[in-house]
């Protein structure tokens, strides 16, 4: 779902698209929208999740990061 190009990993550009899509969904309720930009948020999320600093998130890194970040989990939950 989040691996836009289907290569098995998520890169920073894909993470930015994910965050922007979430921000767009939250846009109707501006009080729910975080103050930082999608790009800033994606960089922060990516830095936390990319355990081996290879510039890509594996499925395991992504899932582990989502489970450890309460705010991100809330943003991704249906």
How does pLDDT run across 7-66, given as a tens digit for each residue? 999 999 999 998 888 888 777 555 666 678 889 988 988 898 999 999 999 999 988 888
Structural domain boundaries in the chain: 7-74
β-strand partners of 10: 57
In angstroms, the Cα distances linking 52 to 31, 37, 61 are 35, 25, 9
Q: Helix, strand or coil for residue 20?
A: helix
The CATH code of the domain at 7-74 is: 1.10.238.10
What's the predicted TM-score (pTM) here?
Answer: 0.76
Dihedral class, residue 9 (left if φ above 0, else alpha if ψ from -120 to 50, else beta): beta
């Amino acid at each position: 779902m989040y691996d836009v190009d289907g290569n098995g990993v998520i890169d920073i550009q894909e993470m930015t698209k994910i965050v922007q899509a979430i921000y767009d969904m939250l846009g109707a309720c501006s009080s729910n929208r975080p103050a930082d930009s999608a790009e800033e948020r994606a960089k922060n999320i990516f830095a936390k999740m990319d355990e081996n600093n290879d510039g890509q998130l594996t499925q395991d890194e992504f899932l582990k990061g989502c489970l450890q970040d309460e705010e991100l989990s809330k943003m991704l939950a249906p």
